[in-house]
Structure formats: structure tokens, C-alpha cells
Structure 1
Amino acid sequence: MTALTRAQARDLIQGLSHWTRGYAPLPGAADELIGTDGTPRPAWARLAEALGPMSPGDLARGFGSAERHIREVGISYRVHGEAADRAWPVAHLPVVIDAAEWRAIAAGVAQRARLMEALLAEIHAGGEAPDGAPPAAAIVGSPNYLRPLVGVAPPGGRHLSLYAVDIGRGPDGRWWVLNDRTQAPSGAGYALENRIVLSRVYPALMERLRVQRLAPFFAAFRDGLAALGAREEPRVGLLTPGPYSETYFEQATLARYLGLPLVEGDDLVARDGSVYVRTVSGLKRIDVLWRRVDGDYCDPLALDARSRLGVPGLVAALRAGGVAMANMPGAGAVEQPALMGFMALQCRRLLGEDPLLPNIATWWCGEPAAREEALGRLDTLAFADAFVPGPSTLGAELDAAGRAALAARIRARGVDVVGQEVVRLSTTPVWRDGRLEPRPFSLRVYAAATPNGWHVMPGGFARIAERPDARAVSMGEGTLSADVWVLADAPVARVSLVPQERIRRVSGHLPSRAADDLFWLGRYLERAEATTRLVAALAAARLEGGEGGPGDETVVRLEGLVRSLGAVPEEEEEEEDAGEDGDPVGEGADAAPVAALPACDLARTALDDAAAPGSVAASIAFARRAASHLRDRLAPQAWRLVADLSPGAPPGEEAAASPADTLDRAHALLERFAAIAGLVHENMTRSDGWRLLDMGRRIERGLAACRVTGALAGAGATSADLDALLDIVDCQITYRTRYLFGPAPAPVRDLALIDPNSPRSLAFQAERILEHVRALPRLHEDGLPEPPERLAAALARGLAIADAATIDAPTLAGFEADLADLADAIGARYFPRGAAAARPEKLSGLA
């Protein structure tokens, strides 16, 4: 694509006048669409040329597709202090930068990364500070300065593996550094998702415009992580704070994209100078950890004892060189605003170079001269915490009392305050109500350390302010993110992260925590389905005329079963004994008892009441929580199906109380459970994770078979009881094709419990569980079965020789106890905690 002249660019932009009508840059701010000379920037003109043929309808369809993708995949983030996730807000238009300008930005970012690495090496070397070094107070005052890491040589030779910097274009057109991110830079995964979203809005457009791809950056970063390890094929993991992290979705995205296991502190154990991950195959050594946990939370023994996110003994393993970390704990000691004013001098001192990207002017008030300068400019500077990046206060917006209080604070503890020049950020076009409007933005750019130097991501992501106020220090988080398109001068080669290596048919080792979550995801989903089947049977029985009284024994038994599962709130009975004044005796006598639920409400309550631990709503909530811990392992379709599960009425409608409506809702919910089961059965690779998920389902299905059979096929069972049982275990058609007579206890018990060909029978579950435990990894090579296998085999053998005619309540209770013991044995073997974890005896210390 040849370069456009200014006149051609102007003509192209004018061709989009239905977009740009009324568009004007903000006073005193640069703009990404309109250059300082009042003409369109060439990069935006190229985008305008490509967008010209697209009609408003085409754009609307593209925007709709992007928004559906965000909902379906569940792209989200969490604001600190909030429990619920928010949908990730993606702008419909990218920020566009041409190749020449990006080369200058990339060179400045790479230089800044080299400077940060050199400064960190000097800080952690220990000893006296050399001449020209930043004041010690500007470093050790940071909460990210970790004294136990001083003198620890970073395994792999680097303090930084990933560096990020927030930059903004000032009114003069130059790019300025706003913040450094060295602690545990976030957002690279969101940059990746932004690119995927925009590719749906503008299919084939990026290739036409020669937008540089992100895959080479991530491939280089992955190679850089691997280079930190001491082994030829090191095991690399992403250390996450867990699903309650504000950016957990992004961490899961990156782990899945890069092929790294996502591990939490509880998944790891430090032992003998190395770090191991607990897996269903035992302890496996991990060589490199990409850290997304704050540095001081990494080790509760050596650092912050309050931490529940780290690994006890991790710092000792770092000292021993047994594990490498990216980034090293303590790397955040150079990202505080207090150091910003010293960076130009440090660049010349440590690198012998002038800075290519200048800082916004900063005065650290811990120095007398800078403090007096800041006090003399209270009405023109912005003031912020010197050690924790965050919101700032504009002196010009304070009244006399506020300004006096600020001055007193600076004089008393100037070391904690910085003054910064108020920089007006440039604006970028944002699509609003069918037209373009300018909004201020900042750009986050990433650099990855590789064996061949620093590799800068060609793009990043932009944060765009909702309001047109373009002061950098008051912009805050912004309300939109945007993809960043760096346009190349030549065609861009397609690059994939899929390596060209030998074929493998084995999965990576499954961490015990993920195995636990998969097992319980299966249990909760099956538990919710079993209760839904009971609700459907109860509603159907009511439709046939049952009133819940003594005359309708089937309804009474079903209601009792629902209550026994804890699917409805427990009833409270008044004490028969009374005091002298006739009041009930005992604690809580003044409180009104919970009345027994009316017969018509019990089934609906079992569906909807999340306060009852055995209700469908509660089981779904537990399943959703387990699934949220598995975002890196669940396909987007599976996550969406689980996340969208709800026993409630459609949005905007109240749940009706009639048996017919309850039955309809139960049947609709059963269809959703069937969809999830089908996805699991047809789409999941038969890995250890799939086996544990399926084992969880089988345990719960076996327990449900015992309970419903005991309630409906015991002594005195009626034809209606047996008919309801056949509905619950989904064997009506099978029974009628086998038998010419109506339901009889022994044949029904046979189908529900011991027929190995009935998919809902207890025997079928026992055989599948036995197959799974025999296929799962073993710890010992002595040829003896492990406890889960012994228990599963005993249960399967017992069912194989059972006689349906003689199965009674004690027999069923024994089967239930066997299943409970089996579940406990599975947990003890595959989900160990603490000292319970062990290494396979056949593997060496480098396992």
C-alpha cells in the first residue's frame, strides 16, 4: 500500500463525513485523527479508506457480533472491592499508529525496560549506593521494596521478564511516560482479546491494512520464560492469586493461549530448595513461575505473614536457584512515582544514553529543593502518593483550606508526596451514537525479555476516558479499552503459536486443585439435575390430582425425599411443653416458627430457594463457582452453558406457582443439563480432568439412585411410586419394552440399581468409576491397587452379584456408605493438601 499524500488523506476523511461531521479536537490537546497541522494523520486516513465501503448496517452487524463474543466468552474484569464481574468494555474503533511512529515508541519502551532491569540489579546487589544513584528513601519507602530479596541473584539472570509502561501523547505531539509497571504487569491478555473482538467487527480488514500481529510477541515471551529454566524442557506455570483476582479472566486467557498451567499458591510446595506443583500424578517440579501475585504476598514465611496466596519457602527456593520467577519479587521497587523525576539521570548513568521517552515532569518532595519547588507551584501541579500509583489531587481545584492542608502535609511528610505536571493527553476517535467523538486516552505497551533482547508488543491496549477532560492525572481507569493497530510498511506474515514439534498424545499434568474443582463441578451439576428430576416427578404427580395428603402416598414420599435432600428450608416445630403462662418453653420462644410449605409451593421452592443448600439454585451456584476456577480449562461453550444455568423464570417474568409451570421449567432445565453432559461427553478429550469430572457425576448419580430407590421401591411401594421412579431414572421406555405387565418392585429395582446396561443405574456408575480410577496415574509401582480402585472394585463386584428381589433398606444404606467412602478416598488420593502430597516413587527429584 503506497503512502497517502495529505490531500488524499483529507479527501478520504471527507468521504466519511457522515461519521466526522462536527468532529473537532479538544482545545490544547493533540488528536489521533487530526494532526497538529489540521489535516488527517496518514494512519487514520488508511483506516478511513478501508472503512469507506462499509455501510452503517455492516458496522452495526460487526458491533453486534463483537458484543455477542464478549458475552459468550465471558470477557470480564472485576473492580477492587466488588464481588461481581463486569463485562470488558471494548471500543468499536482501534487506536491506529503508523510504522515509523511505532518504531520510535518501541525503541523508547525497550530502552526503558533495559533501564529498569539495570536499576533493579543495582538495588538488589546490596552494599553502598554508587554516586548518582537515586536517594535511598525514594526506593526503600516503597512497599514493593523487599529487603529479604536483596542479595538474591535472580535464577535465570533477570529481575524483569515482562515490562509494561503507560504512555500518552502530549500537546506537542511527543509521547510521554505516565507510569511504569514492573511488579506484575497486567493487561496483555486483554490486548489479545481486544484484537479478537475487533477481528469480528472488521473481518479481513487487518490483513488489508497490514496490521502487525501479536502472536510473535507472545511466542517471544514464551521463549523468554523457557530460557529462565535450568532444564532443556522446563515446566513453566502462571502463578495466579485465584478467581477473586480483578484480572482472573485475563490470567486464564494467557495460560490457555501460551499453554501454561494456571497454578495458585496452594497448588505449590517448596521442598529441598525446589518448588513442586501438586498434581494427580504426585508432586512435579516446576522450573519457572510467571508471577501475577504481588511480590510481598509470594511467601508468608519470608515476606508478609498474612498472605494466603503465596508458597511458604518460595524465597528460600529462589536463593537456592531451584525456581526462576518472572518477574522476581521486589521488581515493583522501581515503579513508584517517587523515582520518575530521577529517570533521565539514571538513563544516562546506567545506560550512557539520553532517554528516548521522557517522563512527565515530577518533583519528589522528599528532596528539599524539589519540595520548595512543589510548594511554590501548588496551583499548577497535581499531587499524588509517592509510592503507590493512584489518583492525584489538582492543586488548582482546592480551596484555600485544602491548599493549606496540602502544604502542611508536604512540609510534614514530603517524602510521601510527589508533584507532577498536568499533562493533557491526546484524544482518539470513539464511536458514539452513529458519529465520531474525541476522547482522551493512554496507551499501555509491553516488552518481553528474550535471549535476543527486549521484544516490544506491536500494539498493546488503550484506556479511553469517558469524559472529554484530557488531564492525564485525573483520567483514572477510563471506561473503555481499545485495540491498538500498528500498521506495517510491508505485508505481514501469518504467525502461529502452535509449535512444530513431535506429536504427543498425552496431556500435561493436572494440578490437584483443578482436579478437585473438576470433580466437584461434576458432582454439583449432577446433584442439581437429580433434584430437578425429583421436582419434575413431584410436579407431574400433582398434575395427576395429588394434594399432598395421606391419600396420595407417592406425593408424600416425593415431598419427604425433597426435604431429606435439604432442597427446601427446614420446618421448625413448636415445643409441646409450655411454661406457667402457657408460652412455649425453650430458646426462641418469641420467634414465629417457619410454617410448613404449602404443597403447591414445595416443588417451586426446591428449584428456586438458593438459601436451601440442597436446592437446584444452590447446587447451580456451587457448580458455577467451581467452573469459575477452571476458566483456563473449560471451553468457552462449556463455560457459557454453566454460567447461563438458572432454574428461574425467563428475565422479566415471575416464576409461576402452578404444577404445570413448575414442570415446564424443570423440563427446560433438564434440557440444559443434557446439553452440558453432551458437550462433556462429545467434546472433552479423555484426559485425567475429564475422568475426574465424570467420576464426580457418577458418584452423585449413584447416590441419587440409592435414595430414590429406597424412597419409592421399598416395602409397600405402590404402582404410582414405581412409575415415578421409572420417570426419575429415565427408564420408562426400557421397562415397557422388556415387560408386558405394569411396574413391579424387583424389575424396577433391577433397572435403577444393578442393570449394568442402564445408564442411570448404580451398577453402571460403579463400573465407569472403576474404569476411570484404573486409567488415572499411580503413585506406586508395586502392582497393588490404590484405595480408590479397591473400593470401586468392591462396589462393582457387590452389585454384580446382588439380587434385586432381596435388596432392602440396609442394603441401600450400605451402597450409599460405600459411595461416600469412595468419594473420600478419591479426594485423599488425588486432591492432597499440605504434607499429604507425595512424589511418585518411580521419579527422581527432577520429576
Structure 2
Amino acid sequence: MSSTFPLRDTSASAASGWVDEWLRRARPVDPGHHDELRLPDGQLRPAWRALATQLGAPFDELSRCQEVLARQIREDGITYNVYNAAGGSSRPWSLEALPLLISPEEWPWLERGIAQRADLLNRILVDTYGEQTLLREAMLPSALVLGHPGYLRGLQGTQPLGGVYLHVVAFDLARGPDGAWWVVGQRTQAPSGLGYVMQNRLSVSRLFPEAYRALNVQHLASTYRQLLDTMSTLAQPCAGGDTPSLALLTPGPYNETYFEHAYLARYLGLPLVEGCDLTVRDDRLFLKTVQGLSPIHGLLRRLDDDFCDPLELRTHSTLGIPGLTQVVRAGNVVLANALGTGFLESPAVHGFLPALSQHLLGEDLILPSLPSWWCGEASAWAAVRPQLAQQVIRPTYPVLDTPGGLSARRKRQQETVLGFTLSPQEVRAWEETVAQDPAAHTVQTFIPYGQTPVWSEGGLSLRSASVRVYALSDGRGGWRVLPGGMTRIATRDDGPVSLQQGGSSLDTWVISSEPVDAFSMLPTSVKLEELAQRQSPVASRTGENLFWMGRYTERCEQQLRLTERLISLRAEDDEPEQSLLQALSALGVQFGMVPPGTPPLDKLGRLFERAALDALGDAQAGQGAYSLAFNLSELTRTAQALRERLSPAHARLLRAMATDFQQALCPSVPVDPTALAARVSTVQDALAHLSVQLGAVTGAQSDRMTRDAGWRLLTVGRLLERLIGHVRILQAFWRNQALQHPQGFDQALEMFDSTITFRARFQRRLEVPALVALLVMDESNPRALACVVRRLRTELGKLPERAGAPSDLLALLPPLGVGATLASLCDPVSGHGAMMNLLDHLLDAGWRLSDEVGRLYFAHAESTDSMVSA
């Protein structure tokens, strides 16, 4: 592990000076907040003193470290989607260089308190979906539980495998003004953040490796391993003696934390799947793969309960798996976490936990919850109503959105309101709102969050912080607490702690006084039986995205070449031939370079050129032209859905292409849109840079990806697009007789990237038979139709067997060559017709192959028995 931070003299005299410098650079804490950096007497806390001793006082280096972090985050594509941004945009993940430090004296107490709470919540779920003693004895109000949309009546009496409802539970902690820790929230459905926790740890520990080792920071990997081991153990009964198959369920790339889903799936070695990747057959869950249906025995889900099954839960959801609830009832899948845990996230539950802890565990809560009053209890509402101006008003229940949206009243009920920010009139208005529907509101005590240091503008600012910590079940009634967590801070010194509102994150270092666990998720040794070549099944959605990645890559390259040919006409000394203009006009429409109905080049050439230039940067295809920017955008979107499959460098390059192209088309010095020559020059520069990038992408796809079924589908997609595109080019040139003229002849060679090869073989003999031999019949020319067809036969033949495939696919292609001889295509009398018939046949074969590949490997339309893979 290499450090970006310089080594420092750690002598006692130097350390004392550095500590003083840290204190001098630190701004004061806001009144009423706990100071994580300093003791009440103004000195650094021991943990921070130890960190200051290790890092010294090169504060200019801290600024550089922050820049290194930001650059690494951008390059790695670590993002967080902000729903309230224009268009639901994603922004780079925000991470500060300095960590939050938890001392070795505090952590054991926090660890016990978190494990106790996780155990308590799981016991509440066992009772609530079982005998319901707590409801009958009014330890939990029935109206609170049964009226919560997170309680799923359809699962009453259903116990998950092993009796484990909560495999992962997250608690949000904050320090009060006196330094005491409080639990301010809990997440029981699909807790987020585990991927970001590991990413933060890897990023920050690389900045300060010496300090990380010297402070004896506890490691995280073994806790992640615990999660996999527990799920595998619990899933054994439904795996029928085989090794259980696990996957991570994500809502998809538009979810706010999709990056961490992909990152966590890769780190854990799990396939990342969406609801559309899974299907239910005979009360069992299957992953749709290009090899067939593969059973899934466990899902680590990042999808909230009500989205998981559109048959029984949220009916208009397109994210879930129809029939999943029935699979749960049948005991054929382990869900982490189990369905129906959402009601425990209600803030109203906190008010009942102290008594429930005594009742179920026989002990007091180690970690206190914020004092909470559920206003559905008349006595609680009467007690807290006079104090409303000093409290926090929160919604008891989540209001599930509907296709028609929420009413203004329902939206108001969903607000979290700080009483001290309200005017007297607003307080009275909120009293009336709560009184109209008391059960929908919960009141909690407000505490100002403790503040931790972050490096900002040459000094240490103090920001309000909360820490999300995670407890993981061992499947046997015990709990393991992740020694660390995700710390979130306010974007301002005393603002809201919210990533959606621009907050940032910190790594969380739990300092240990004992040797740290050195376990790594990377295997230290390989067993001989593991050396046998085994490939994981490729999900159908993944295969489809790879298929279209190949097609979009080739489509972009063909459009780039066509645009270059259109631009090259302006540089010709001679007036372009009418036949060439007609051919390029037809191709411009067919390839989506201009909107349908644009006058052709041979009629209104300048209008055609302007339309092509206007469409070039239109990523939304607003005028109906699906040109380069649109297809680059689609390529980027496809790559986003394949994050777990692509190397960081490959993914970074794909993200950069669309951005770089748009920036190149919009230079810092604006070009007059009416000055066609200046616009053309700008476009030429943009195309030249894009050409280099596309070459790099092609190299990464062909030379840096494993040759599994997914890669073969990518290659098939690219070859199909090449076949269809090159056939169209030849059709346009042949039909318009553009090859009879030198200009058309040269343009066709350029479109096929074969000019150098042609001249090396035939010099300047611009004869059509020579061109046909090179562009149609030559199996050694990767752009020739014969070579494309030959490679298609090879790759289709290696696709997984599926109910007749690939033999059925191969039957659509000529068995040898392109299905015609050179002599027949060059015959003076019948050659024109033979060429057109050949091109029509190959074009039809390309489209039919595209449909058949989708039907066989993506749609899964056959019966169950023929689809289940061994």
C-alpha cells in the first residue's frame, strides 16, 4: 500500500508542535454541539492526538490529498444519484480525507449496544409474524404495526429460513451535546451503504497507510464474509445439497446508490441482478441466463419491500419479481432481509423499545433511542403537544407514492419538521395537522449532532455528523457488528446531515488496543479443484446489454465514418457526382444522421449538411435523427448497467467518450452556428478524438474481456451491426451506381476502412470486380462481408445450446462464404441483379439473426423444463 502522504519525523518534540498546529488550525465547535476533536479543556482527544502525531502538520498536503480523492472518485465513476437534481442527475460521490475516529474505550460498548438492538428487533419480528403476543398484550400498539404499510399481512405465519428476519440491520447514531451516543434511526428493509463503506475505507487508507497501521484500525473484510457465510448456510435446505447460488438484487442504474450495489456485488463475488433478470417457476426462483434458467437460493436485496413483488405488493412496480412472495412462503429462497420488516423503521417504534427490551431480553437497552411519542396514543399526544415548538415532528408511516401522485395534505404529512424553526403561527398550524390524524405523526426530542473535523479552506472545520453502523446475523442467534461504518456530515458547519442535500461522507476508523483481524476477502491459497475452468452463468439482461454494447460501438463507428465522408465532400476539388450524393443521402437517412424528410444532398446540399451537423450533438434525438451523440449516450447507458463486468479503465473510457464528444462540439470559444466552415472544422477535431477513443474501446472489448457467453454475445452484436451496416452501404452505392465513378469508388473504400489494403493490392485500378473481391469476398479483410459472415458462424456456433440453438441460428447464414461466387457477382449481364439479391439476403439474415438471438437468449419464451440448466 503506497502512501500519497509524506513520511514525517515522529519525535516527541516534533509531535508536540504538530498537535499545537492542529489546534491552531481548528475552528471552534458550534455552541451546544459535542466536539469530536477536542477535550473540554481544549486539548486534542487521544485518538486525534495519535493521528496528528502520525500525519504531522503539512496542511498543504491535506489539500492535495483531498484533490487526489476527488480525482480518483471521478476516474472510478463513483457516483451518487440525486433525485431532486435536474433530470435526476448523478454526481460524484463526496468523500473527505480525514476519517471519523472511534476510540478503543468506546467501541466495545457501542458494539454490545448495536448487537443487543439487532437481536431485539429480530425477536420483535419473530413474535409479530408468529404468535403476536406483543400485540395482544399491548406492548406494541396493534394500530401502529397493523396500520403500517411495512407490515405484510400476507406473510403472517410465514417464518423465514433459520428464523432470521434481519441479516443486516443498520443503525444511525449521533452524539448529543454531552458526548453520549443516541440511536436516531434504524434501517431494516434493505440498508444502504455497505458498498460505500468499503470504497471509503480503500480510498482513505491508501492516503494514510502508515497512520492506518500505526493507529491499529480494525479491518472490515471478515464481517462481509460473515454475511455470505450466513446466507449460504441458511440457504442449504432449499439448494437440495448443492452449493447455494446467491445474488444481489438492485433496483437498477437509476437508483440513488446504484454504484455501491455494483461495487458490493463485485466485492462479494455475487451476480448483480434486477427484477427482470429473475423469474418464478413452480414456487422456485430462477435467474434468466443465456444458458437457461439457473436456480437462485438467496438474494441480498437492495429493493424495498413494496417494490419486490408486483403481484402481491405494489402492483405498478416494474422493479420486482412477480411471485416472489409465494417463493418466500414455500421456503425456497433466503431474502436478506426478509420481506415485511419495514414497519420497524417507523420512528414511533423507538418509544416502545425500552419496555420491549426488558420484556424480551430481560435487560435495559445499552444504547438509548431518542425520546419518542407516537401521537396515535392519546396520552402521548396530550403530553407532548405543549412542547411541540422544541421537538421534531416526523411521519409515522411512509406514504406510498401512486401513479397519480400525492395530495398536498399527504405530502405535508411526509415532512420532517424542526419545531424550533417554526413561527408561533406555524406551530399552531402543525398542532391542527397532527390533531386531524394523530397516528400519522411521531414527535421526537431534538438533539444537535456532535461535530467532527473536516479539512476545508486551509483549516479544520467542524461539521455535524451521524454514523451508520451495521450488525450482521451469524444465523445462530448471534450478531457481528461491522467495526466501522459510514459517517455522513452536513455540507455546512451546522446544516442537515443528508447526502441528498449535498452532504459528504467520511471513513470511520475504529481504533483497537488489540491485534486487528487480518482476514481478506481475497483467497490466500487456491485449491486444486478450484483450478478447473469454471464460468459463472451470464444473466440474460447482462447478455442483452453486452449484445447491445457491441451493436452501439459498431454503430458509432459506422456513423463516424459516414460523417467523415459527408465532410470530405467539402474538401473535394471536383464537384461531387450526383450518384455519390444520392448514395450518401440515402445512407444519411438510414443511419439516422439526419431527420426523415431532409432534402437530399443532390437537391439542397447545404441544408442536408446543416441538418447532419445539428443532429450530431443531439443526445436526445429531439428532431428524430439518431446520430452520434445519441448512440454514444446509449452506449454509456449500457455500460452503466454493466459496471460489475467492465474493468475500471474500460468503464472510464466509455463514460468519457460521450462527455468529451459533447465538449469538443461546444468549444470554449463559441462557433457561429451560421458559419458552416468553422463548424465543420470543430466537428473534424471532435471526430478525430472520438476515432481514437473508439479504437481503444474496440481493443478493450476484443483483448481485455473474458471469452465467456457474454463476450460472445457482445461480439455477435458487433458483427451483426457490421453486417447490416456494410450491406446497407453497398446497397446504396450499388443501387445508385456510385461505384462507376472514382469519387464513389474511393468513398466506398473509406467507408469500409480498406483504402490502404486496396491500393497495396490493386494500386489505382479502380475496377468494380477488384472492389467486390476485397469488400465482399475476402475472408481475410475484417470489414468484408465474407469475413463478417465467417466470424458470425464461428461465434454463433460457440453460444450456449438452447433448444436447437446455435444450429438454428447458423441455418440463417450461408454455409460457405457469402453464398455467391465472385464470377456470378461480376457477370456483365446478371451481376447487378445477383449482387442486389445477395445483399437483400444478407440484410434479411442479419435482421432475423438479431430477432432470434433475442428470443433464444433474452426472452426465455420456452417451457420451464427445456430452460432449466443443470
TM-score by length of 1: 0.91
Query: 2:339 matched to which residue of 1?
Result: 329
Query: 1:577 matched to which residue of 2?
Result: none
Query: 2:769 matched to which residue of 1?
Result: 746
Query: 1:588 matched to which residue of 2?
Result: none
Amino acid at match of 1:774: G
Query: 2:535 matched to which residue of 1?
Result: 507
Q: CA deviation at 1:491?
A: 4.3
Equivalent-residue separation in structure 1 for 2:868 and 2:25 (angstroms)? 73
Equivalent-residue separation in structure 2 for 1:570 and 1:407 (angstroms)? 61
Report the secondary structure of 1:779's partner residue.
coil
Equivalent-residue separation in structure 2 for 1:351 and 1:602 (angstroms)? 73
Asked whether the equivalents of residues 709 and 752 of structure 1 are also in contact (C-alpha less than 8 Å), the reply is no
Listed one character per residue, the Cα deviations across residues 402-424 of structure 1 (whole Å, up to 9, x for unaligned) are: 22222222333211111111111
Equivalent-residue separation in structure 2 for 1:676 and 1:200 (angstroms)? 29
Asked whether the equivalents of residues 802 and 856 of structure 2 are also in contact (C-alpha less than 8 Å), the reply is no
Aligned to 2:145, which of 139, 142, 145?
Answer: 139
Query: 2:560 matched to which residue of 1?
Result: 532
CA RMSD of aligned residues (A): 2.7
Choose 784-793 or 269-278, whichever is displaced more: 784-793
Q: 1:409 to 1:776 in 2, by over 3 A?
A: same
Asked whether the equivalents of residues 246 and 298 of structure 2 are also in contact (C-alpha less than 8 Å), the reply is yes
Asked whether the equivalents of residues 386 and 418 of structure 1 are also in contact (C-alpha less than 8 Å), the reply is yes
Choose 651-660 or 66-75, whichever is displaced more: 651-660
Q: CA deviation at 1:83?
A: 2.4
Asked whether the equivalents of residues 37 and 48 of structure 2 are also in contact (C-alpha less than 8 Å), the reply is yes
Aligned to 1:346, which of 349, 356, 368?
Answer: 356
Asked whether the equivalents of residues 132 and 349 of structure 1 are also in contact (C-alpha less than 8 Å), the reply is no
Q: CA deviation at 1:88?
A: 0.9
Equivalent-residue separation in structure 2 for 1:31 and 1:73 (angstroms)? 34
Aligned to 2:521, which of 476, 479, 497?
Answer: 497
Query: 1:604 matched to which residue of 2?
Result: 613
Report the secondary structure of 1:483's partner residue.
strand
Asked whether the equivalents of residues 594 and 608 of structure 2 are also in contact (C-alpha less than 8 Å), the reply is no
Report the secondary structure of 1:798's partner residue.
coil
Listed one character per residue, the Cα deviations across residues 451-474 of structure 1 (whole Å, up to 9, x for unaligned) are: 4621111111111012333788x9
Equivalent-residue separation in structure 2 for 1:12 and 1:454 (angstroms)? 41
Asked whether the equivalents of residues 293 and 868 of structure 2 are also in contact (C-alpha less than 8 Å), the reply is no
Equivalent-residue separation in structure 2 for 1:604 and 1:309 (angstroms)? 38
Equivalent-residue separation in structure 2 for 1:546 and 1:214 (angstroms)? 70
Equivalent-residue separation in structure 2 for 1:654 and 1:476 (angstroms)? 34
Choose 139-148 or 192-201, whichever is displaced more: 192-201
Report the secondary structure of 2:488's partner residue.
strand
Q: CA deviation at 1:534?
A: 1.0
User: Could you list the runs of 5+ residues in structure 2 that have no partner in the other structure?
Assistant: 1-10, 400-413
Equivalent-residue separation in structure 2 for 1:337 and 1:29 (angstroms)? 23
Query: 1:465 matched to which residue of 2?
Result: 490
Q: CA deviation at 1:572?
A: 6.2
The reply to whether residue 775 of structure 1 matches residue 802 of structure 2 is no
Aligned to 2:43, which of 32, 39, 56?
Answer: 39
Q: CA deviation at 1:808?
A: 2.1
Asked whether the equivalents of residues 79 and 93 of structure 2 are also in contact (C-alpha less than 8 Å), the reply is yes
Amino acid at match of 1:638: H
Q: CA deviation at 1:492?
A: 3.2
The reply to whether residue 87 of structure 1 matches residue 92 of structure 2 is yes
Amino acid at match of 1:115: L
Choose 393-402 or 343-352, whichever is displaced more: 393-402
Q: 1:241 to 1:546 in 2, by over 3 A?
A: farther
Q: 1:391 to 1:540 in 2, by over 3 A?
A: same
Listed one character per residue, the Cα deviations across residues 405-449 of structure 1 (whole Å, up to 9, x for unaligned) are: 222223332111111111111100011101101111000001111
Equivalent-residue separation in structure 1 for 2:561 and 2:500 (angstroms)? 50
Q: CA deviation at 1:801?
A: 7.7
Report the secondary structure of 1:507's partner residue.
coil
Query: 2:479 matched to which residue of 1?
Result: 454
Q: 1:535 to 1:487 in 2, by over 3 A?
A: same
Query: 1:727 matched to which residue of 2?
Result: 750
Amino acid at match of 2:155: L
Q: CA deviation at 1:804?
A: 4.6
Q: 1:552 to 1:167 in 2, by over 3 A?
A: same
Q: 1:146 to 1:76 in 2, by over 3 A?
A: same
Asked whether the equivalents of residues 54 and 211 of structure 2 are also in contact (C-alpha less than 8 Å), the reply is yes
Listed one character per residue, the Cα deviations across residues 697-755 of structure 1 (whole Å, up to 9, x for unaligned) are: 11111112112222335645212211111122121221122124422212212222221
Asked whether the equivalents of residues 298 and 314 of structure 1 are also in contact (C-alpha less than 8 Å), the reply is yes
Listed one character per residue, the Cα deviations across residues 486-511 of structure 1 (whole Å, up to 9, x for unaligned) are: 12224435332134542242221111
Query: 1:692 matched to which residue of 2?
Result: 713
Alignment of 1:443-842 (within 5 A): 443-451=467-475, 453-469=478-494, 479-499=503-523, 500-501=526-527, 502-545=530-573, 551=577, 553-571=579-597, 597-598=606-607, 600-605=609-614, 607-610=616-619, 611=621, 612-646=624-658, 647-650=661-664, 652-654=668-670, 657-658=676-677, 659-713=680-734, 715=737, 717=739, 718-780=741-803, 785-792=806-813, 794=815, 796=817, 798=819, 803-805=824-826, 806=831, 807-833=834-860, 835-836=861-862, 838-840=864-866
Q: CA deviation at 1:27?
A: 1.5
Equivalent-residue separation in structure 1 for 2:691 and 2:457 (angstroms)? 41
Q: CA deviation at 1:159?
A: 0.7
Report the secondary structure of 2:170's partner residue.
strand
Report the secondary structure of 1:455's partner residue.
strand
Asked whether the equivalents of residues 29 and 470 of structure 1 are also in contact (C-alpha less than 8 Å), the reply is no
Query: 1:289 matched to which residue of 2?
Result: 299
Q: 1:426 to 1:745 in 2, by over 3 A?
A: same
Q: CA deviation at 1:52?
A: 0.3
The percent identity for this pair of structures is: 35
Asked whether the equivalents of residues 712 and 721 of structure 1 are also in contact (C-alpha less than 8 Å), the reply is yes
Aligned to 1:122, which of 122, 127, 132?
Answer: 127
User: Could you list the runs of 5+ residues in structure 1 that have no partner in the other structure?
Assistant: 1-6, 575-593
Q: CA deviation at 1:327?
A: 0.6
Q: 1:323 to 1:471 in 2, by over 3 A?
A: closer
Aligned to 2:21, which of 17, 23, 26?
Answer: 17
Asked whether the equivalents of residues 293 and 867 of structure 2 are also in contact (C-alpha less than 8 Å), the reply is no
Equivalent-residue separation in structure 2 for 1:236 and 1:842 (angstroms)? 17
Q: CA deviation at 1:196?
A: 2.4
Amino acid at match of 2:365: P
Asked whether the equivalents of residues 471 and 482 of structure 2 are also in contact (C-alpha less than 8 Å), the reply is yes
Equivalent-residue separation in structure 1 for 2:64 and 2:423 (angstroms)? 50
Report the secondary structure of 2:776's partner residue.
helix
Equivalent-residue separation in structure 2 for 1:204 and 1:796 (angstroms)? 63
Listed one character per residue, the Cα deviations across residues 198-222 of structure 1 (whole Å, up to 9, x for unaligned) are: 1343344322322222211211111
Query: 1:30 matched to which residue of 2?
Result: 34
Listed one character per residue, the Cα deviations across residues 649-701 of structure 1 (whole Å, up to 9, x for unaligned) are: 53525468434443333222111110001111121111111111111111111
Q: 1:724 to 1:572 in 2, by over 3 A?
A: closer
Amino acid at match of 1:365: C
Amino acid at match of 1:652: S
Asked whether the equivalents of residues 126 and 165 of structure 2 are also in contact (C-alpha less than 8 Å), the reply is yes
The reply to whether residue 174 of structure 1 matches residue 180 of structure 2 is yes
Equivalent-residue separation in structure 1 for 2:451 and 2:182 (angstroms)? 14
Number of residue pairs aligned between Structure 1 and Structure 2 = 812
Amino acid at match of 1:522: G
Q: 1:36 to 1:789 in 2, by over 3 A?
A: farther
Q: CA deviation at 1:787?
A: 2.0
Report the secondary structure of 1:278's partner residue.
strand
Aligned to 1:366, which of 360, 363, 376?
Answer: 376
Equivalent-residue separation in structure 2 for 1:106 and 1:31 (angstroms)? 22
Query: 2:6 matched to which residue of 1?
Result: none
Q: CA deviation at 1:840?
A: 4.5
Equivalent-residue separation in structure 2 for 1:603 and 1:314 (angstroms)? 49
Equivalent-residue separation in structure 1 for 2:511 and 2:820 (angstroms)? 68
Choose 455-464 or 804-813, whichever is displaced more: 804-813
Equivalent-residue separation in structure 1 for 2:108 and 2:604 (angstroms)? 73
Q: CA deviation at 1:606?
A: 5.1
Report the secondary structure of 1:831's partner residue.
helix
Equivalent-residue separation in structure 1 for 2:122 and 2:851 (angstroms)? 49
Amino acid at match of 2:731: G
